[in-house]
Amino acid sequence: MTKKIRTALISVYHKDNLEPVIRQLHTLGVKLITTGGTQQFIEKLGIPVTTVDSITDYPHILGGRVKTLHPKIFGGILRRDENESDRKEVEQFQIPAIDLVVVDLYPFENTVAAGGSHAEVIEKIDIGGISLIRAAAKNYNDVLIISSRDQYAFLLDILEKKKGESTIEDRKLMATHAFNTTSHYDTAIFNYFNKDENVPAFKQSVLEARSLRYGENPHQQGIFYGKFDELFEQLHGKEISYNNLLDIDAAVSLMAEFNEATCAILKHNNACGVASRDSLINAWKDALAGDPVSAFGGIIIVNRNVDKAVAEEMNKLFFEVLIAPSVSPDALEVLKQKKNRIILLQKKTALPAKQFRSLLNGVVEQDRDSKTESAADMKTVSEIAPDAKQLSDMEFANKLVKHTKSNTIVLAKNKQLLASGTGQTSRVDALQQAIAKAGHFNFELKGAVMASDAFFPFPDCVEIADKAGIAAVIHPGGSVKDQESIDYCNKHRMAMVITGIRHFKH
């Protein structure tokens, strides 16, 4: 069922790219109803308009808060052309039938993001605009709604190629877009008012979406909802996959812990190599040494500029993604030798304070784990206190254990990851896995430190660590048998500190 556009209501905040639409409507002889700034914009083009107040015979009031909220406007949008009773009332009350509504909304989110005052934010809560959009979308059977300047191209296509006639499919599609616009807008307003979470409700809305090659596996569909380009600029490489995104997220969260020159290599969301050094090239070499086997096909992240010397070393390894704050032009040419290699420049953008995931038939939400313990947060519970070097290594190891799948044990020395046991059902298994891995790559564990994401329920882990050469231990503490682990450390001249903070990661 096609509908000819004869009368259009146009009232927009943003005038970008509006002129071609106005001129084409005028060419087709469409009557234009408008108000406020849009009226002035159209009149400057030399095109006649009919004002809203000339139809309603009522002025704008309350400083412009009330302009279009009137039965003659909403009646013209909500009338049903095939309903005899509606037709009679439209004629009786001299209500103009409106076939096209072009309306956008006040920039509420932009005002909040720009740090506007509460009063400024409140004034950007659109009332008339959102009501017009909902009314036109509800009556898509008879009205075409354009709710964003992003849809002007779609409208121009109808005006130019279809001579102003829309199909029911056109109108329903735009109604769907309209309800997407209004629901997103209301979600943003609700979350602004509910910053203190006094109302227990979960509401998130993301308009940006990018289809992925597939989900976690090829038989699963995958879509990323979010503003990826706010965080990264992709300089090179293939389309980013679902699994790439999981690794990138893990890598960015881990690297946020470090200030000195650091390189981390991740595989399946866990670090397999990390080192902090006086230069990036040394950090790269020592991170790779941590596990050169797992590094194959991994994700690399650094927090310093990648120069040509570093790029040439990295280029010897096959890897999926490189994340860096900057890459020098000659280094980029080296790295681009692999056409599918993804190279991302990380922008300085804060990560969300909340995390959530689907679970069962709902969603769980939590605060991001933003707690990072420094030496000042470590309480020595053993008779022997750790020295400065051990404290530094324990701080380093504790950052890694925070970002490794539980149950986990991390072994480190000289600010280098020697090995980790990841995702084990037993903490003993995690430790034995880490020791075996360190041995496989010929690391000397004598003098190394051990970090655990949770307490030791028994002293068996410190005993195993001691026999492997581990000199100092950091863990949250909190077990009813903590003292047994402490006693073992005292008996065998090991240093132990507790932090009081658990870092489970599932």
Helices (H), 204-279: 228-231, 242-255
> Are the beta carbons of 431 and 459 closer than 8 angstroms?
no
Q: Name the DSSP class of 347.
A: P
Quote the Cα angle for 70-60-55, to 5°. 50
Report the b/e string of 464-497 with b at 16+ CB within 10 A: bbbebebbbbbbbbebeebebbbebbbeeebbbb
- Of 138, 236, 338, 492, the catalytic one is 138
Query: Distance (Å, rounded) from C-alpha 448 to C-alpha 455?
Result: 19
Q: Is 138 a catalytic residue?
A: yes
Tell me the residue type at 411.
Answer: L
Give the rounded distance of the alpha carbon of 214 from its chain centre.
Answer: 19
Is the four-CA dihedral 485, 488, 494, 495 of positive or negative sign? positive
Query: Distance (Å, rounded) from C-alpha 392 to C-alpha 266?
Result: 22
Copy the structure tokens of residue 127. Answer: 């009332």
Query: Distance (Å, rounded) from C-alpha 387 to C-alpha 313?
Result: 34
> Are the beta carbons of 146 and 174 closer than 8 angstroms?
yes
Note if the bond before 407 is cis, omega within 30 degrees: yes
Q: Is 26 a catalytic residue?
A: no
* CA gyration radius, the chain: 31
| 3-state SS string for 71-134 | HHHHHHHHCCCCCHHHHHHHHHCCCCCCCEEEECCCCHHHHHHCCCCHHHHHHCCCCHHHHHHH
Copy the structure tokens of residue 206. Answer: 């993301």
- Of 238, 268, 336, 389, the catalytic one is 268
Copy the structure tokens of residue 88. Answer: 């009679």
Put the strands of the sheet holding 31-34 in their side by side order. Answer: 50-51, 31-34, 7-11, 100-103, 144-146
* SS3 state at 274: strand
Q: Which residues contact 477 (CB under 8 A, 6 or more apart)?
A: 379, 381, 455, 498, 499, 500
Beta-sheet pairing, 262-267 with 270-276: antiparallel
Which class for 123: exposed (0-12), middle (13-18), buried (19 or more C-beta within 10 A)? middle
Q: For residue 322, what are the β-bridge partners?
A: 300, 343
Q: Which residues are catalytic?
A: 138, 268
